[in-house]
Amino acid sequence: MATKPSSSGASSSDSSPGVLDSPGVTKTITIRRTRVCEVITDLTFSVAAFAQLPTPQVPQSEDGILDLRTFTGDATIFIEKWVFMETGQKCWLGCTGKQKDGSDHTVHVMVGKAITAADVKNGLSRTLPRVELEKFANRTQLTIVFKTELDACCEKGEKIIFPALKLTLRKPYRDLTDFNDQTLGLWKLGSGASDPRDINIETVTGPDGKPSYSVRDFTYTETSNGPILQRVFDDLDEGETYQFSVKVRRWSTQYTTPKLSLRKDSVVKTPVLELVDLNWHTLSFTFVAGSAPVLLDCFSHEKTAGGNDWYMKDFLVESV
């Protein structure tokens, strides 16, 4: 776009076509010279046709899905060169989605960062860290938004918002309840722990040899056989294979021994484990998820209240 001096010493744009001219774009630009640079003091730039602006791309995604199971390392956000791109333009780039607790989380990839000469030559490419993607919930919708200012010099310009990219995030499934927050999390008491005095959360030396919180079953009644902790999982993918595991340990070596197993949909899936020592042991099995929700539980096969006390820790469901 050509400029011409005015009688006051300012430079203003003429009406001849320039590199910013394209269908759907209007502009009014007045430029005043200073000792440092040319400062845009009056700028109106509206983009009516969003098709003219490139949508961000994530090369690791396919068919609208960003699957962390299909690649290692970080993801990349790439934006093709746009018509008014120039070195020094300030840019904002973010990726927003839901965390497991339902709260919003935004990864701020660029916050007012300047376009470089390499960006102008090759297009803008920035890293989307895997460690940040891991914070999002599985199957959440990610929205990637890029903004830039027209003013590459000294004053703030109006932000131009590019078309957003929407992706569905897929990641390895892992749901661990370690009870270190001193709650049962999403696990519920079953019929084998119907007495309010049955269950307590207390500190014990964990499987890793360090003090941590575990669930202790006191078995106050003679009806301690049945599911102790149970939970319905409705977020598993049909046809995918998962492993359910629980770590257990006897409380003392006196009297009746605990006898435990893991179940799926009220069917025993592991051999019954009799706890005869004070070591930690792991119960586990794998299963293929169907279309219906899955009920998982830790089950006691011993009903007596004499002895039959044990700890439970690290209820883990993960994809394999």
pLDDT, tens digit (0-9, with 9 covering 90-100), for 3-47? 444 443 443 334 333 334 444 555 544 444 444 444 444 444 444
The CA-based diameter of the chain, rounded to the nearest angstrom, is 103
Q: Is the confidence at residue 252, as pLDDT, over 70?
A: yes
Output the CA torsion 257→262→263→268 (10° steps): -60
204 shares its domain with 280: yes
83 shares its domain with 134: yes
Q: Encode pLDDT of 122-138 as tens digits.
A: 999 999 999 999 999 99
Task: Give a yes or no: residue 28 inside a domain.
Answer: no
The boundaries of the domain holding residue 112 are 50-170
The total number of structural domains in the chain stands at: 2
Pick the last residue of a domain from 122, 152, 170: 170
Global pTM reads 0.68
Task: Give a yes or no: residue 13 inside a domain.
Answer: no
DSSP at 153: S
Task: Give a yes or no: residue 14 inside a domain.
Answer: no
With beta carbons less than 8 A apart as the criterion, state whether 147 and 158 touch.
no
198 shares its domain with 299: yes
Task: Give a yes or no: residue 63 inside a domain.
Answer: yes
163 shares its domain with 196: no
127 shares its domain with 179: no
Using alpha carbons, list the distances in angstroms from residue 284 to 93, 97, 243, 244, 320: 43, 33, 7, 5, 13
Q: Encode pLDDT of 286-319 as tens digits.
A: 999 999 999 999 999 999 888 899 999 999 999 9
3-state secondary structure of 69: helix
Task: Give a yes or no: residue 15 inside a domain.
Answer: no
Q: Per-residue pLDDT averaged across 228-251, rounded?
A: 97
Count CA within 13 A, CB hemisphere, residue 189.
Answer: 17
Q: What is the CATH number of the domain that holds 178?
A: 2.60.120.260
With beta carbons less than 8 A apart as the criterion, state whether 1 and 18 touch.
yes
**Position of tokens 């920035």?**
126
Pick the last residue of a domain from 151, 170, 189: 170
Q: Copy the structure tokens of residue 81.
A: 């060169």
145 shares its domain with 235: no
Q: Encode pLDDT of 154-208 as tens digits.
A: 556 678 999 999 999 999 999 999 999 999 999 999 999 999 899 999 999 999 9
218 shares its domain with 127: no
Among 48, 47, 30, smallest CA distance to 39 is for: 30
Q: What is the CATH number of the domain that holds 75?
A: 2.60.40.10
Q: Which pLDDT belongs to residue 101?
A: 87
Q: Which pLDDT belongs to residue 221?
A: 84
Mean model confidence pLDDT for the chain: 87
**Residues near 255 by beta carbon (within 8 Å), at least 6 away in sequence:** 306, 307, 308
% of residues, the chain, pLDDT over 90: 74
213 shares its domain with 267: yes
- Phi then psi for residue 51, to 5 deg, are -65, -20
Lowest-pLDDT range of 31-45, 93-107, 190-204, 268-282:
31-45
Task: Give a yes or no: residue 7 inside a domain.
Answer: no
Pick the last residue of a domain from 123, 152, 170: 170
152 shares its domain with 189: no
Task: Give a yes or no: residue 245 inside a domain.
Answer: yes
76 shares its domain with 129: yes
301 shares its domain with 265: yes
Q: Which pLDDT belongs to residue 161?
A: 94
186 shares its domain with 57: no
